[in-house]
Amino acid sequence: MDKILRENQPKSLLRILQEKNEYISAPCNGNGTCGKCVVRFQSGATEPSVRDREIFSEKQLEEGYRLACQSYPTGVYEIEIPQKEEEIEVLSGWQEEKRLFGEHGKAEDRTHGGNKAEQPEYASYGICIDIGTTTLAALLVNLETEADCQTAVSVNHQRAYGSDVLSRISASNGGKKWEIQRCIRQDLQKLIRELLQKEKITEQQIQRIVIAGNTTMCHLLRGFSCETLGVAPFLPVDLSWMEGSAADFLGMKELDTKVVILPGISAFVGADIMAGIAKMNMHRSEGYHLLLDIGTNGEMVLGNCRHMYVTSTSAGPAFEGGNISCGMAGIPGVISHVFMEETGKAGFQVIGEADGENKKKQQAIGICGTGMIDLVYELRKHQMIDEHGTYSDLYFDTGYELAGKVKFTQNDIREIQMAKAAIRAGVDILVKKAGIAFDEVDDCYLAGGFGTKIDITKAAGIGLIPKELEVKTIPVGNTVLAGTKEVLLGRISKEELEKIQTMADVINLAEENDFEELYLSYMDF
Protein backbone atom coordinates (compact mmCIF):
# COMPACT_ATOMS: atom_id res chain seq x y z
CA MET A 1 0.00 0.00 0.00
CA ASP A 2 1.62 3.24 -1.12
CA LYS A 3 1.78 6.25 1.14
CA ILE A 4 2.90 9.80 0.36
CA LEU A 5 4.34 11.26 3.54
CA ARG A 6 5.88 14.57 4.53
CA GLU A 7 8.00 14.91 7.62
CA ASN A 8 10.55 17.48 8.65
CA GLN A 9 11.20 16.36 12.21
CA PRO A 10 14.10 13.99 12.90
CA LYS A 11 11.97 10.88 13.40
CA SER A 12 12.52 7.41 12.06
CA LEU A 13 10.14 6.20 9.39
CA LEU A 14 9.03 3.47 11.79
CA ARG A 15 8.00 6.10 14.30
CA ILE A 16 6.21 8.15 11.64
CA LEU A 17 4.25 5.09 10.51
CA GLN A 18 3.26 4.28 14.09
CA GLU A 19 1.95 7.79 14.64
CA LYS A 20 -0.09 7.55 11.44
CA ASN A 21 -1.56 4.17 12.43
CA GLU A 22 0.34 2.43 9.65
CA TYR A 23 1.66 -0.53 11.58
CA ILE A 24 4.59 -2.60 10.41
CA SER A 25 6.09 -5.55 12.26
CA ALA A 26 9.11 -4.48 14.34
CA PRO A 27 10.05 -7.35 16.68
CA CYS A 28 13.04 -5.49 18.15
CA ASN A 29 11.03 -2.29 18.77
CA GLY A 30 13.11 -0.26 16.34
CA ASN A 31 16.55 -1.13 17.67
CA GLY A 32 17.79 -2.19 14.26
CA THR A 33 18.62 -5.74 15.29
CA CYS A 34 15.82 -7.86 13.83
CA GLY A 35 15.86 -6.60 10.24
CA LYS A 36 12.10 -7.14 9.84
CA CYS A 37 10.67 -3.60 9.39
CA VAL A 38 11.34 -3.61 5.66
CA VAL A 39 10.00 -0.83 3.44
CA ARG A 40 10.68 0.10 -0.17
CA PHE A 41 11.11 3.71 -1.19
CA GLN A 42 9.60 4.42 -4.57
CA SER A 43 10.82 8.00 -4.40
CA GLY A 44 12.77 10.16 -1.98
CA ALA A 45 14.84 7.26 -0.63
CA THR A 46 17.10 7.91 2.33
CA GLU A 47 20.79 7.13 2.29
CA PRO A 48 21.37 3.49 3.31
CA SER A 49 22.49 3.09 6.90
CA VAL A 50 25.26 0.74 8.01
CA ARG A 51 22.56 -1.73 9.10
CA ASP A 52 20.77 -1.42 5.75
CA ARG A 53 23.99 -2.42 3.99
CA GLU A 54 24.26 -5.48 6.24
CA ILE A 55 20.68 -6.57 5.52
CA PHE A 56 20.19 -5.77 1.84
CA SER A 57 22.13 -6.50 -1.32
CA GLU A 58 23.38 -3.65 -3.51
CA LYS A 59 20.59 -4.41 -5.97
CA GLN A 60 17.96 -4.20 -3.21
CA LEU A 61 19.42 -0.92 -1.95
CA GLU A 62 19.26 0.47 -5.49
CA GLU A 63 15.62 -0.64 -5.66
CA GLY A 64 14.88 1.40 -2.53
CA TYR A 65 14.76 -1.25 0.19
CA ARG A 66 15.46 0.09 3.69
CA LEU A 67 14.72 -0.67 7.33
CA ALA A 68 12.03 1.72 8.57
CA CYS A 69 13.74 2.11 11.94
CA GLN A 70 16.99 3.19 10.28
CA SER A 71 15.46 5.69 7.83
CA TYR A 72 15.03 9.36 8.77
CA PRO A 73 13.34 10.87 5.71
CA THR A 74 12.68 14.54 5.01
CA GLY A 75 10.71 16.24 2.31
CA VAL A 76 8.32 14.30 0.11
CA TYR A 77 8.72 10.59 -0.46
CA GLU A 78 6.70 7.56 -1.44
CA ILE A 79 6.99 4.11 0.08
CA GLU A 80 5.42 0.70 -0.01
CA ILE A 81 5.41 -1.96 2.69
CA PRO A 82 6.32 -5.18 0.84
CA GLN A 83 5.02 -7.63 3.43
CA LYS A 84 2.25 -6.97 5.92
CA GLU A 85 0.86 -9.47 8.40
CA GLU A 86 -2.81 -8.59 7.97
CA GLU A 87 -3.66 -12.08 6.69
CA ILE A 88 -2.12 -13.84 9.66
CA GLU A 89 -3.42 -17.31 10.50
CA VAL A 90 -5.19 -17.21 13.88
CA LEU A 91 -6.72 -20.15 15.71
CA SER A 92 -10.15 -19.50 17.18
CA GLY A 93 -11.48 -23.03 17.75
CA TRP A 94 -10.81 -25.57 20.45
CA GLN A 95 -10.53 -29.32 20.54
CA GLU A 96 -13.70 -30.45 22.29
CA GLU A 97 -16.01 -28.65 19.88
CA LYS A 98 -14.59 -30.44 16.80
CA ARG A 99 -15.07 -27.17 14.91
CA LEU A 100 -13.54 -25.74 11.80
CA PHE A 101 -13.29 -22.08 10.99
CA GLY A 102 -13.36 -20.84 7.44
CA GLU A 103 -10.85 -18.39 6.04
CA HIS A 104 -13.18 -15.46 6.71
CA GLY A 105 -13.77 -16.42 10.35
CA LYS A 106 -17.29 -17.80 9.75
CA ALA A 107 -17.85 -20.68 12.12
CA GLU A 108 -18.64 -23.98 10.45
CA ASP A 109 -20.57 -25.31 13.42
CA ARG A 110 -20.77 -29.08 13.63
CA THR A 111 -22.04 -29.07 17.19
CA HIS A 112 -24.98 -26.66 17.26
CA GLY A 113 -26.21 -26.98 13.69
CA GLY A 114 -26.04 -23.22 13.19
CA ASN A 115 -29.60 -22.89 11.89
CA LYS A 116 -30.17 -19.15 11.77
CA ALA A 117 -33.91 -19.62 11.18
CA GLU A 118 -34.31 -21.20 14.61
CA GLN A 119 -32.86 -18.18 16.42
CA PRO A 120 -35.16 -15.54 17.91
CA GLU A 121 -35.60 -12.40 15.83
CA TYR A 122 -34.02 -10.30 18.56
CA ALA A 123 -31.38 -12.24 20.43
CA SER A 124 -28.88 -11.22 23.09
CA TYR A 125 -25.22 -11.79 22.43
CA GLY A 126 -21.91 -11.82 24.23
CA ILE A 127 -18.36 -11.46 22.96
CA CYS A 128 -15.23 -13.33 24.05
CA ILE A 129 -11.84 -11.76 23.27
CA ASP A 130 -8.37 -13.29 23.33
CA ILE A 131 -5.60 -10.67 23.36
CA GLY A 132 -2.48 -12.54 22.33
CA THR A 133 0.93 -10.94 22.05
CA THR A 134 1.01 -11.71 18.32
CA THR A 135 -2.62 -12.28 17.36
CA LEU A 136 -6.14 -11.32 18.40
CA ALA A 137 -9.31 -13.40 18.23
CA ALA A 138 -12.92 -12.58 19.06
CA LEU A 139 -15.95 -14.87 19.28
CA LEU A 140 -19.63 -13.85 19.12
CA VAL A 141 -21.89 -16.07 21.23
CA ASN A 142 -25.70 -16.21 21.24
CA LEU A 143 -26.53 -16.02 24.95
CA GLU A 144 -29.89 -17.72 24.51
CA THR A 145 -28.84 -20.73 22.44
CA GLU A 146 -25.19 -20.68 23.68
CA ALA A 147 -24.15 -21.22 20.07
CA ASP A 148 -20.99 -19.75 18.59
CA CYS A 149 -22.03 -17.44 15.78
CA GLN A 150 -19.08 -15.59 14.28
CA THR A 151 -15.36 -15.13 14.76
CA ALA A 152 -13.06 -12.27 13.86
CA VAL A 153 -9.27 -12.44 13.94
CA SER A 154 -6.32 -10.17 13.25
CA VAL A 155 -2.70 -9.50 13.99
CA ASN A 156 -2.01 -7.55 17.18
CA HIS A 157 -0.64 -4.33 15.73
CA GLN A 158 1.30 -3.71 18.92
CA ARG A 159 3.93 -5.81 17.13
CA ALA A 160 5.04 -2.45 15.76
CA TYR A 161 6.38 -1.79 19.27
CA GLY A 162 8.20 -5.11 19.66
CA SER A 163 7.44 -8.81 19.29
CA ASP A 164 7.57 -9.79 22.97
CA VAL A 165 6.18 -8.43 26.22
CA LEU A 166 9.50 -7.02 27.43
CA SER A 167 9.87 -4.91 24.27
CA ARG A 168 6.38 -3.52 24.73
CA ILE A 169 6.93 -2.87 28.43
CA SER A 170 10.03 -0.92 27.41
CA ALA A 171 8.08 1.01 24.76
CA SER A 172 5.32 1.82 27.25
CA ASN A 173 7.81 2.99 29.84
CA GLY A 174 9.54 5.03 27.14
CA GLY A 175 6.56 7.35 26.70
CA LYS A 176 4.36 5.34 24.34
CA LYS A 177 1.83 4.05 26.91
CA TRP A 178 -1.20 5.89 25.54
CA GLU A 179 -0.12 5.31 21.95
CA ILE A 180 0.02 1.56 22.57
CA GLN A 181 -3.34 1.64 24.36
CA ARG A 182 -4.86 3.44 21.37
CA CYS A 183 -3.39 0.78 19.09
CA ILE A 184 -4.95 -2.19 20.91
CA ARG A 185 -8.26 -0.38 21.37
CA GLN A 186 -8.47 0.28 17.65
CA ASP A 187 -7.77 -3.38 16.92
CA LEU A 188 -10.47 -4.58 19.32
CA GLN A 189 -13.01 -2.03 18.10
CA LYS A 190 -12.46 -3.26 14.57
CA LEU A 191 -12.97 -6.90 15.60
CA ILE A 192 -16.17 -6.11 17.50
CA ARG A 193 -17.61 -4.14 14.59
CA GLU A 194 -16.70 -6.98 12.25
CA LEU A 195 -18.65 -9.43 14.43
CA LEU A 196 -21.71 -7.16 14.45
CA GLN A 197 -21.55 -6.71 10.69
CA LYS A 198 -21.18 -10.44 10.00
CA GLU A 199 -24.14 -11.37 12.20
CA LYS A 200 -26.15 -8.30 11.09
CA ILE A 201 -26.95 -7.24 14.65
CA THR A 202 -26.79 -3.94 16.53
CA GLU A 203 -24.65 -2.71 19.44
CA GLN A 204 -27.75 -2.86 21.66
CA GLN A 205 -27.85 -6.67 21.36
CA ILE A 206 -24.42 -7.06 22.99
CA GLN A 207 -24.94 -7.75 26.70
CA ARG A 208 -21.49 -8.80 27.93
CA ILE A 209 -17.87 -8.86 26.82
CA VAL A 210 -15.24 -11.06 28.48
CA ILE A 211 -11.54 -10.47 27.81
CA ALA A 212 -8.39 -12.43 28.65
CA GLY A 213 -4.76 -11.92 27.75
CA ASN A 214 -1.39 -12.12 29.41
CA THR A 215 -0.67 -9.65 32.19
CA THR A 216 1.24 -7.22 29.98
CA MET A 217 -1.51 -7.18 27.33
CA CYS A 218 -4.14 -6.46 30.01
CA HIS A 219 -1.99 -3.68 31.49
CA LEU A 220 -1.49 -2.06 28.08
CA LEU A 221 -5.22 -2.26 27.35
CA ARG A 222 -6.10 -0.58 30.65
CA GLY A 223 -3.36 2.02 30.34
CA PHE A 224 -1.69 0.84 33.54
CA SER A 225 1.92 1.74 34.21
CA CYS A 226 4.39 -1.00 33.32
CA GLU A 227 7.21 0.56 35.37
CA THR A 228 7.26 -2.28 37.93
CA LEU A 229 6.14 -5.05 35.57
CA GLY A 230 9.40 -5.66 33.74
CA VAL A 231 11.91 -5.39 36.60
CA ALA A 232 12.39 -7.50 39.72
CA PRO A 233 10.38 -8.24 41.78
CA PHE A 234 7.94 -7.91 38.81
CA LEU A 235 4.93 -6.30 40.45
CA PRO A 236 1.72 -5.87 38.41
CA VAL A 237 -0.59 -2.93 39.07
CA ASP A 238 -3.70 -5.13 39.24
CA LEU A 239 -4.30 -8.87 38.78
CA SER A 240 -7.89 -8.87 40.02
CA TRP A 241 -11.18 -9.51 38.22
CA MET A 242 -11.93 -6.15 36.56
CA GLU A 243 -15.36 -4.89 35.51
CA GLY A 244 -16.12 -1.71 33.66
CA SER A 245 -17.92 -0.18 30.71
CA ALA A 246 -17.08 -0.52 27.05
CA ALA A 247 -16.37 3.21 27.05
CA ASP A 248 -13.80 2.91 29.85
CA PHE A 249 -12.14 -0.33 28.76
CA LEU A 250 -12.43 -0.15 24.97
CA GLY A 251 -13.14 3.48 24.17
CA MET A 252 -16.52 2.52 22.67
CA LYS A 253 -19.15 4.95 23.98
CA GLU A 254 -21.72 3.59 21.54
CA LEU A 255 -21.58 0.18 23.23
CA ASP A 256 -23.58 0.20 26.48
CA THR A 257 -22.43 -3.10 27.92
CA LYS A 258 -20.41 -4.52 30.77
CA VAL A 259 -16.83 -5.58 30.07
CA VAL A 260 -14.97 -8.09 32.26
CA ILE A 261 -11.23 -8.74 32.20
CA LEU A 262 -10.36 -12.05 33.81
CA PRO A 263 -7.92 -12.11 36.74
CA GLY A 264 -4.27 -13.08 36.32
CA ILE A 265 -1.86 -15.00 38.50
CA SER A 266 1.47 -13.18 38.23
CA ALA A 267 3.39 -10.70 36.11
CA PHE A 268 4.10 -13.36 33.49
CA VAL A 269 1.24 -15.84 34.00
CA GLY A 270 -1.87 -13.96 33.11
CA ALA A 271 -5.60 -14.15 32.54
CA ASP A 272 -5.01 -16.17 29.36
CA ILE A 273 -3.61 -19.05 31.39
CA MET A 274 -6.37 -18.58 33.95
CA ALA A 275 -8.90 -19.10 31.15
CA GLY A 276 -7.06 -22.25 30.06
CA ILE A 277 -7.03 -23.69 33.59
CA ALA A 278 -10.75 -23.03 33.90
CA LYS A 279 -11.63 -24.48 30.50
CA MET A 280 -9.66 -27.69 31.03
CA ASN A 281 -11.16 -28.12 34.53
CA MET A 282 -7.70 -28.48 36.03
CA HIS A 283 -8.90 -26.92 39.29
CA ARG A 284 -11.60 -29.60 39.57
CA SER A 285 -9.42 -32.60 38.70
CA GLU A 286 -7.97 -35.14 41.13
CA GLY A 287 -5.15 -36.06 38.77
CA TYR A 288 -2.27 -33.84 37.67
CA HIS A 289 -2.51 -32.09 34.32
CA LEU A 290 0.08 -29.96 32.53
CA LEU A 291 -0.99 -26.99 30.40
CA LEU A 292 1.60 -25.54 27.99
CA ASP A 293 1.11 -22.37 25.97
CA ILE A 294 4.13 -22.19 23.70
CA GLY A 295 3.51 -18.89 21.99
CA THR A 296 5.40 -15.64 22.23
CA ASN A 297 5.75 -16.38 25.94
CA GLY A 298 6.32 -19.91 27.27
CA GLU A 299 3.68 -20.11 30.01
CA MET A 300 2.90 -23.34 31.82
CA VAL A 301 0.91 -24.71 34.74
CA LEU A 302 0.91 -28.10 36.46
CA GLY A 303 -1.81 -28.86 38.96
CA ASN A 304 -4.97 -30.47 40.23
CA CYS A 305 -7.88 -29.59 42.51
CA ARG A 306 -5.55 -29.06 45.49
CA HIS A 307 -2.60 -27.10 44.14
CA MET A 308 -1.25 -25.34 41.05
CA TYR A 309 2.37 -24.67 40.11
CA VAL A 310 2.77 -21.99 37.45
CA THR A 311 5.71 -20.38 35.70
CA SER A 312 6.76 -18.55 32.57
CA THR A 313 9.99 -19.14 30.72
CA SER A 314 12.23 -16.53 29.16
CA ALA A 315 12.06 -18.43 25.88
CA GLY A 316 11.92 -15.29 23.77
CA PRO A 317 9.83 -14.90 20.62
CA ALA A 318 11.68 -17.46 18.49
CA PHE A 319 8.65 -19.69 17.87
CA GLU A 320 6.68 -16.66 16.65
CA GLY A 321 9.41 -15.73 14.18
CA GLY A 322 11.24 -13.14 16.29
CA ASN A 323 15.06 -13.27 16.33
CA ILE A 324 14.99 -15.76 13.44
CA SER A 325 16.53 -14.44 10.21
CA CYS A 326 13.78 -15.87 8.01
CA GLY A 327 11.19 -16.21 10.80
CA MET A 328 7.69 -14.86 10.34
CA ALA A 329 4.25 -15.17 11.88
CA GLY A 330 1.75 -17.53 10.26
CA ILE A 331 0.76 -15.60 7.13
CA PRO A 332 0.19 -16.86 3.58
CA GLY A 333 3.45 -17.86 1.92
CA VAL A 334 5.14 -18.93 5.15
CA ILE A 335 6.45 -22.49 5.55
CA SER A 336 4.50 -24.32 8.28
CA HIS A 337 5.76 -27.89 7.91
CA VAL A 338 8.96 -29.49 6.63
CA PHE A 339 9.75 -33.06 5.63
CA MET A 340 13.02 -34.40 4.29
CA GLU A 341 13.95 -37.25 2.00
CA GLU A 342 16.89 -39.56 2.68
CA THR A 343 18.88 -37.58 0.14
CA GLY A 344 18.66 -34.56 2.43
CA LYS A 345 16.39 -32.68 0.04
CA ALA A 346 13.60 -30.91 1.90
CA GLY A 347 9.98 -30.49 0.97
CA PHE A 348 7.55 -28.24 2.76
CA GLN A 349 4.00 -27.02 3.16
CA VAL A 350 3.19 -23.36 2.80
CA ILE A 351 0.30 -21.60 4.51
CA GLY A 352 -2.36 -20.78 1.96
CA GLU A 353 -1.71 -23.80 -0.25
CA ALA A 354 -3.79 -26.96 -0.25
CA ASP A 355 -2.48 -29.82 1.89
CA GLY A 356 -0.05 -32.03 0.07
CA GLU A 357 0.64 -29.52 -2.70
CA ASN A 358 4.15 -28.17 -2.86
CA LYS A 359 4.40 -26.73 -6.32
CA LYS A 360 5.33 -23.17 -5.42
CA LYS A 361 8.48 -23.45 -3.33
CA GLN A 362 9.85 -20.31 -4.92
CA GLN A 363 6.98 -18.33 -3.36
CA ALA A 364 7.89 -19.24 0.22
CA ILE A 365 8.68 -15.99 2.02
CA GLY A 366 9.65 -17.26 5.49
CA ILE A 367 9.13 -19.94 8.10
CA CYS A 368 6.96 -20.01 11.23
CA GLY A 369 7.42 -21.88 14.52
CA THR A 370 5.93 -25.23 13.52
CA GLY A 371 8.10 -25.28 10.42
CA MET A 372 11.18 -24.51 12.51
CA ILE A 373 10.46 -27.47 14.82
CA ASP A 374 10.11 -29.76 11.80
CA LEU A 375 13.23 -28.44 10.11
CA VAL A 376 15.49 -28.75 13.15
CA TYR A 377 14.21 -32.29 13.76
CA GLU A 378 14.91 -33.25 10.13
CA LEU A 379 18.36 -31.62 10.14
CA ARG A 380 19.32 -33.64 13.22
CA LYS A 381 17.75 -36.86 11.93
CA HIS A 382 19.75 -36.60 8.71
CA GLN A 383 22.93 -35.66 10.60
CA MET A 384 23.20 -32.24 9.01
CA ILE A 385 23.57 -30.84 12.52
CA ASP A 386 25.21 -32.66 15.42
CA GLU A 387 23.85 -33.24 18.93
CA HIS A 388 25.05 -29.75 19.92
CA GLY A 389 23.07 -28.15 17.11
CA THR A 390 26.14 -27.30 15.03
CA TYR A 391 25.89 -27.52 11.25
CA SER A 392 28.19 -29.76 9.27
CA ASP A 393 30.88 -27.93 7.29
CA LEU A 394 28.69 -27.87 4.20
CA TYR A 395 26.10 -25.60 5.84
CA PHE A 396 27.97 -23.91 8.69
CA ASP A 397 28.70 -20.65 6.89
CA THR A 398 25.69 -20.38 4.59
CA GLY A 399 22.94 -22.15 6.53
CA TYR A 400 20.43 -24.56 5.01
CA GLU A 401 18.41 -23.23 2.08
CA LEU A 402 14.76 -24.30 2.07
CA ALA A 403 13.70 -21.89 -0.66
CA GLY A 404 15.26 -18.95 -2.43
CA LYS A 405 14.41 -16.44 0.28
CA VAL A 406 14.38 -18.87 3.19
CA LYS A 407 17.73 -19.88 4.68
CA PHE A 408 18.01 -21.28 8.20
CA THR A 409 21.30 -20.14 9.69
CA GLN A 410 23.48 -21.41 12.50
CA ASN A 411 22.28 -18.55 14.67
CA ASP A 412 18.65 -19.49 13.94
CA ILE A 413 19.31 -22.98 15.30
CA ARG A 414 20.83 -21.46 18.45
CA GLU A 415 17.67 -19.38 18.98
CA ILE A 416 15.51 -22.51 18.75
CA GLN A 417 17.86 -24.35 21.11
CA MET A 418 17.61 -21.64 23.74
CA ALA A 419 13.82 -21.42 23.46
CA LYS A 420 13.21 -25.15 23.67
CA ALA A 421 15.75 -25.61 26.48
CA ALA A 422 14.04 -22.93 28.59
CA ILE A 423 10.60 -24.48 28.11
CA ARG A 424 11.84 -28.03 28.72
CA ALA A 425 13.71 -27.01 31.90
CA GLY A 426 10.62 -25.16 33.12
CA VAL A 427 8.51 -28.30 32.76
CA ASP A 428 11.06 -30.28 34.77
CA ILE A 429 11.04 -27.69 37.55
CA LEU A 430 7.24 -27.79 37.83
CA VAL A 431 7.17 -31.59 38.00
CA LYS A 432 9.87 -31.52 40.65
CA LYS A 433 8.01 -28.87 42.67
CA ALA A 434 4.88 -31.00 42.61
CA GLY A 435 6.89 -33.93 43.96
CA ILE A 436 5.72 -36.28 41.23
CA ALA A 437 7.19 -38.23 38.31
CA PHE A 438 6.30 -37.75 34.65
CA ASP A 439 4.24 -40.95 34.64
CA GLU A 440 1.98 -39.35 37.26
CA VAL A 441 0.97 -36.58 34.84
CA ASP A 442 -2.36 -37.63 33.32
CA ASP A 443 -2.36 -35.29 30.32
CA CYS A 444 -0.24 -32.58 28.72
CA TYR A 445 -2.44 -29.96 27.07
CA LEU A 446 -0.89 -27.90 24.26
CA ALA A 447 -2.81 -24.62 23.97
CA GLY A 448 -2.83 -22.02 21.22
CA GLY A 449 -2.35 -22.05 17.48
CA PHE A 450 1.26 -23.15 17.72
CA GLY A 451 0.36 -26.10 19.93
CA THR A 452 -2.42 -27.16 17.58
CA LYS A 453 -0.30 -27.14 14.42
CA ILE A 454 2.84 -28.62 15.94
CA ASP A 455 4.07 -32.13 15.02
CA ILE A 456 4.17 -33.67 18.50
CA THR A 457 6.56 -36.46 17.51
CA LYS A 458 9.08 -33.99 16.11
CA ALA A 459 8.64 -31.64 19.07
CA ALA A 460 9.46 -34.52 21.40
CA GLY A 461 12.26 -35.56 19.06
CA ILE A 462 14.15 -32.28 19.56
CA GLY A 463 13.40 -32.27 23.30
CA LEU A 464 10.78 -29.52 23.44
CA ILE A 465 8.22 -31.91 24.92
CA PRO A 466 9.38 -34.60 27.37
CA LYS A 467 9.49 -38.03 25.72
CA GLU A 468 7.55 -39.40 28.68
CA LEU A 469 4.64 -37.10 27.81
CA GLU A 470 4.63 -37.57 24.04
CA VAL A 471 1.71 -40.03 24.02
CA LYS A 472 -0.14 -37.97 26.64
CA THR A 473 0.12 -34.68 24.75
CA ILE A 474 -3.17 -33.30 23.44
CA PRO A 475 -3.59 -30.18 21.27
CA VAL A 476 -6.56 -28.32 22.76
CA GLY A 477 -6.77 -25.23 20.58
CA ASN A 478 -7.70 -21.74 21.71
CA THR A 479 -8.39 -22.33 25.40
CA VAL A 480 -8.48 -18.56 25.98
CA LEU A 481 -11.64 -18.11 23.91
CA ALA A 482 -13.02 -21.38 25.28
CA GLY A 483 -12.38 -20.32 28.88
CA THR A 484 -13.79 -16.82 28.43
CA LYS A 485 -16.92 -18.40 26.94
CA GLU A 486 -17.32 -20.48 30.11
CA VAL A 487 -17.24 -17.25 32.12
CA LEU A 488 -19.53 -15.45 29.66
CA LEU A 489 -22.18 -18.16 30.06
CA GLY A 490 -21.80 -18.32 33.85
CA ARG A 491 -20.36 -21.84 33.92
CA ILE A 492 -17.21 -20.55 35.64
CA SER A 493 -17.72 -17.99 38.41
CA LYS A 494 -15.65 -15.08 39.57
CA GLU A 495 -15.22 -16.91 42.89
CA GLU A 496 -13.77 -20.00 41.17
CA LEU A 497 -11.20 -17.93 39.35
CA GLU A 498 -10.26 -16.13 42.53
CA LYS A 499 -9.85 -19.52 44.23
CA ILE A 500 -7.43 -20.57 41.46
CA GLN A 501 -5.42 -17.44 42.23
CA THR A 502 -5.01 -18.55 45.85
CA MET A 503 -4.16 -22.14 44.82
CA ALA A 504 -1.39 -21.08 42.47
CA ASP A 505 2.24 -21.24 43.57
CA VAL A 506 4.24 -18.96 41.25
CA ILE A 507 7.70 -20.34 40.48
CA ASN A 508 10.41 -17.87 39.49
CA LEU A 509 12.77 -19.98 37.42
CA ALA A 510 15.62 -17.52 37.85
CA GLU A 511 15.60 -18.29 41.57
CA GLU A 512 15.68 -22.06 41.13
CA ASN A 513 19.15 -23.45 41.79
CA ASP A 514 18.93 -26.26 39.24
CA PHE A 515 17.27 -24.31 36.44
CA GLU A 516 20.51 -23.18 34.80
CA GLU A 517 21.94 -26.71 34.91
CA LEU A 518 18.77 -28.15 33.38
CA TYR A 519 18.65 -25.38 30.79
CA LEU A 520 22.20 -26.10 29.64
CA SER A 521 21.58 -29.84 29.57
CA TYR A 522 18.55 -29.39 27.30
CA MET A 523 20.41 -27.26 24.78
CA ASP A 524 21.59 -30.42 23.09
CA PHE A 525 19.46 -32.47 20.72
Which candidate, 348, 253, 300, places its Cα nearest to that of 446? 300
Q: Does the pLDDT value for residue 84 go beyond 80?
A: no
Structure confidence at residue 116 (pLDDT):
41
Residues 60 and 127 in one domain: no
Q: Which of 51, 80, 109 is the last residue of a domain?
A: 80
Q: Which whole number is the average pLDDT over 299-328?
A: 87
For residues 71-81, one letter each, b for 16 or more C-beta atoms within 10 angstroms of the residue's C-beta and e for the rest, the string is bbbeeebebeb
Q: Which whole number is the average pLDDT over 107-136?
A: 66
Residues 200 and 236 in one domain: yes
Structure confidence at residue 90 (pLDDT):
57
**pLDDT, tens digit, for every residue of 399-421?**
999 988 899 999 999 999 999 99
Out of 67-76, 327-336, 404-413, which region has the weakest mean confidence (pLDDT)?
327-336
Question: Kindly report the CA angle at 386 between 383 and 390, in degrees rounded to 5?
Answer: 120
Q: Which of 386, 408, 430 is the last residue of a domain?
A: 408
Q: Which whole number is the average pLDDT over 279-296?
A: 91
Q: Which helix (H) or strand (E) holds 343?
A: none
Give the range with max mean pLDDT: 71-75, 243-247, 314-318, 403-407. Answer: 243-247
Q: Which whole number is the average pLDDT over 36-61?
A: 90
- pTM (predicted TM-score): 0.82
Q: How far apart are CA 117 and CA 30, in angstroms?
A: 51
Residues 48 and 136 in one domain: no
Residues 199 and 161 in one domain: yes
DSSP letter (8 states) at residue 354: P
Structure confidence at residue 9 (pLDDT):
55
From the centroid of its chain, how far is CA 270? 14
Question: Kindly report the CA angle at 138 between 374 and 212, in degrees rounded to 5?
Answer: 85
Structural domain of 159: 95-261
Residues paired with 425 in a beta bridge: none
Out of 119-128, 233-242, 258-267, 331-340, which region has the weakest mean confidence (pLDDT)?
119-128
Q: How far apart are CA 228 and CA 270, in angstroms?
A: 16
In a domain, 111, yes or no: yes
Residues 174 and 203 in one domain: yes
Q: Which of 367, 383, 408 is the last residue of a domain?
A: 408
- What proportion of the chain, given as a percentage, has pLDDT over 70? 89
For residues 39-68, one letter each, b for 16 or more C-beta atoms within 10 angstroms of the residue's C-beta and e for the rest, the string is bbbeebbbebbebbeebbeeeebeebbbbb
Structure confidence at residue 1 (pLDDT):
42
Residues paired with 474 in a beta bridge: 445
Out of 325-329, 377-381, 440-444, which region has the weakest mean confidence (pLDDT)?
325-329
Residues 132 and 247 in one domain: yes
What is the overall mean pLDDT for the chain?
87
Residues 199 and 60 in one domain: no
- Model confidence band, residue 117 (pLDDT cutoffs 50, 70, 90): very low
Which candidate, 34, 263, 21, places its Cα nearest to that of 164? 34
Q: Which helix (H) or strand (E) holds 167?
A: helix 165-171
8 A C-beta contact, residue 493 and residue 464: no
Q: How far apart are CA 72 and CA 38, in angstroms?
A: 14
Q: Does the pLDDT value for residue 358 go beyond 50?
A: no
Q: Does the pLDDT value for residue 166 go beyond 80?
A: yes
Residues 185 and 48 in one domain: no
Q: Which whole number is the average pLDDT over 155-174?
A: 91
From the centroid of its chain, how far is CA 392? 32
8 A C-beta contact, residue 395 and residue 361: no
* CATH code: domain of residue 138: 3.30.420.480
Give the range with max mean pLDDT: 260-274, 295-309, 332-346. Answer: 260-274
Structure confidence at residue 85 (pLDDT):
62
In a domain, 15, yes or no: yes
Q: Which whole number is the average pLDDT over 17-27?
A: 80
Centre a 10 Å sphere on the Cβ of residue 238 and count the other Cβ atoms it contains.
Answer: 14
- What proportion of the chain, given as a percentage, has pLDDT over 90? 67
Q: Environment class of residue 400 by beta-carbon count within 10 Å: exposed (0-12), middle (13-18) or buried (19+)?
A: buried
